[in-house]
Chains A and B, each alone.
Chain A
Amino acid sequence: MTFWQITLELLHGFGLTCLLFVLTLLLALPLGLGLSFCTMSRWKPLRAVSRVFVWIIRGIPLMLFICMIYYLPGLLGNGSGNLFDSLDRYFTQLMGSGHLLYYGSFLAVLIAFVINYACYFSEIFRGGVESISHGQYEAGQVLGMTKGQIFRKVILKQVIKRILPPMSNEVITLVKDTALANVIAIPEIIKRAKDMAATQALVWPLFYTAVFYLIFVGVLTLLFGYAEKRLSYFKA
């Protein structure tokens, strides 16, 4: 295999990495926001349940959690085999093409990632919201603003400014965590490099994958830096 063929093969895997990254972000951000409201709820049962949930999810290694999501439905079900595997087969039949073999497994990984990251994001949101001085709410209240107006027009931007640094940390971690998808044989970039090492005795592509991650993380770092700069006009 030439250098370009290998690069192309790895890029294929990296596409999957990016897809997992983007979908996780899109789903986990709103879910995390909702979850953070639950953990800050004034209704104690909801608060307790959601905090215990966050504790459990954050306490389980993501790799283990992926396996749980993938295997548990089958084990708990009527013994008809792995649910996500059946999905794989179903979609393969439907599409009639081999390259969608990982469709069901991808769904399992995505579910695990979204739940896991929603929990981390919710804690970041909660920290941000709770760090805003109570005086900001009260100033809005005495000016006759509604709770929703106070949150949207006064609190939100200050929260965003404060959570950007921890957010950028978490998002960068997410980029690298996508590699965990290879535990259930999702052909993301690391999986493809490992396969090359196994089948063609090519080891260097595995180290070459670092370049892809570095570039992606570099772009994200620039984006977060830009966002922080955009919000640097005020102190909060």
Chain B
Amino acid sequence: MFLEVKGLTKSFDGTQVLKGIDFTLEKGQVLSVIGSSGSGKTTLLRCINSLETADAGEILVGGNKIFDAQDAGAGRGIPREARLSFGLVFQSFHLFPQYTALENITLAPTLRIRTLCRKRRLSRAARDELLQKATEKALELLSKVGLSDKRDFYPCQLSGGQQQRVSIARALALNPDVLCFDEPTSALDPEITGEVLKIIKELAAEDMTMIIVTHEMTFARDVSDKILFMDGGVIAAQGSPEEIFGSHENTRLQTFLTSFYSNQAGAEPV
């Protein structure tokens, strides 16, 4: 198993939000997480990306322990290299407003390269070559998300869909083993969700390992190898898209899907 999440729990002020989450994922697979609002999906992604420290549980990537709540140091700053096993794309992008699309992508890699070169006392020429490579990679990523012509645009000059595509490129620039998305299209107008979903589909076709929290059921069914249904902080059901979207015996899942589809069938969402 490439990614293993074992017994993850998390409480906020005495309320348990994650009540023991276990799942695994093969390399190159796509996992979608569905469930109603407040079921703990975001908290799960935040724990995986060390934005929150889980109270208990372990996370392993490729056999390496990335996180263990038992460790003395857990919670006190996760080692940077370990956290870079994961990337996270936020619902509301969080691009850096004072940097251009290209600079948003190169900022973190550039800072890493500079720190690395200082530590290893590499020559200026070696450093410049690494920086040059980082820029080339960023340009490649921009063209991959279809925004080569927007490289010098600032976030405020880009549409929501374009901003989200830049933020995907920004996350990819650090070569994460697993890329996570938290409702990547929820902040977008319905007519432009497609351009972001298309990029994610292309990544799936390139065997990028991904965890996607989403309310786009059709998309989840098409792109996923595996689906988790979360309910009240537990995984209430998991399985292949066929199993989950077929007639699954879990009644909570059936209720969720039924209300979901009836909402969609109804006129304008309110």
Within 8 A of B (CB), among A19-75: none
A135, B92: Cβ atoms under 8 Å? yes
**Residues of A in contact, count (CB < 8 Å):** 22
Collect the chain A residues with CB atoms within 8 Å of residue B84's CB. Answer: 144
In the assembled complex, the Cα of A133 lies from the Cα of B107 at a distance in Å of 19
A144, B174: Cβ atoms under 8 Å? yes
Collect the chain A residues with CB atoms within 8 Å of residue B81's CB. Answer: 144
B111 in complex: contacting residue of A138, A149, A157, A158, CB < 8 Å: A149
In the assembled complex, the Cα of A128 lies from the Cα of B67 at a distance in Å of 34
Within 8 A of B (CB), among A135-180: 135-136, 138-146, 149, 153-154, 157-158, 161
Collect the chain A residues with CB atoms within 8 Å of residue B174's CB. Answer: 143-144
Collect the chain A residues with CB atoms within 8 Å of residue B241's CB. Answer: none
> Contact flags (1/0) for B68-104 with A, using CB distance below 8 Å?
0000000000001101101110101011111000000
B94, A234: Cβ atoms under 8 Å? no
Q: Tell me how far the C-beta of B27 lies from the nearest C-beta in chain A, rounded to whole angstroms.
A: 21
Q: Tell me how far the C-beta of B102 lies from the nearest C-beta in chain A, rounded to whole angstroms.
A: 14
Any chain B CB within 8 A of the CB of A235?
yes
A158, B170: Cβ atoms under 8 Å? no
**Residues of B in contact, count (CB < 8 Å):** 28
> Contact flags (1/0) for A207-235 with B, using CB distance below 8 Å?
00000000000000000000000000111
> Contact flags (1/0) for B107-132 with A, using CB distance below 8 Å?
11001100000000000000000000
Any chain B CB within 8 A of the CB of A236?
yes
B154, A234: Cβ atoms under 8 Å? yes
In the assembled complex, the Cα of A138 lies from the Cα of B111 at a distance in Å of 16
Collect the chain B residues with CB atoms within 8 Å of residue A136's CB. Answer: 94, 96
In the assembled complex, the Cα of A120 lies from the Cα of B36 at a distance in Å of 46
In the assembled complex, the Cα of A29 lies from the Cα of B167 at a distance in Å of 35
B97, A141: Cβ atoms under 8 Å? no
A236, B94: Cβ atoms under 8 Å? no
In the assembled complex, the Cα of A153 lies from the Cα of B155 at a distance in Å of 16
A138 in complex: contacting residue of B94, B95, B156, B170, CB < 8 Å: B94
Q: Tell me how far the C-beta of A43 lies from the nearest C-beta in chain B, rounded to whole angstroms.
A: 16
In the assembled complex, the Cα of A41 lies from the Cα of B170 at a distance in Å of 31
A236 in complex: contacting residue of B80, B97, B112, CB < 8 Å: B97
A-contacting residues of B (Cβ < 8 Å)?
A: 49-51, 80-81, 83-84, 86-88, 90, 92, 94-98, 107-108, 111-112, 154-156, 167, 170-171, 174
B-contacting residues of A (Cβ < 8 Å)?
A: 133, 135-136, 138-146, 149, 153-154, 157-158, 161, 233-236
Give me 7 A-to-B residue pairs in the complex whose CB atoms sit less than 8 angstroms apart, sorted by A's number.
Answer: A141-B50, A142-B87, A143-B171, A144-B108, A145-B111, A233-B154, A234-B155
A135-B90, A236-B97 known; 13 new pairs, CB 8 Å cut-off, are A136-B94, A138-B51, A139-B167, A141-B51, A142-B83, A142-B86, A143-B107, A143-B108, A144-B108, A144-B174, A145-B107, A149-B111, A154-B98
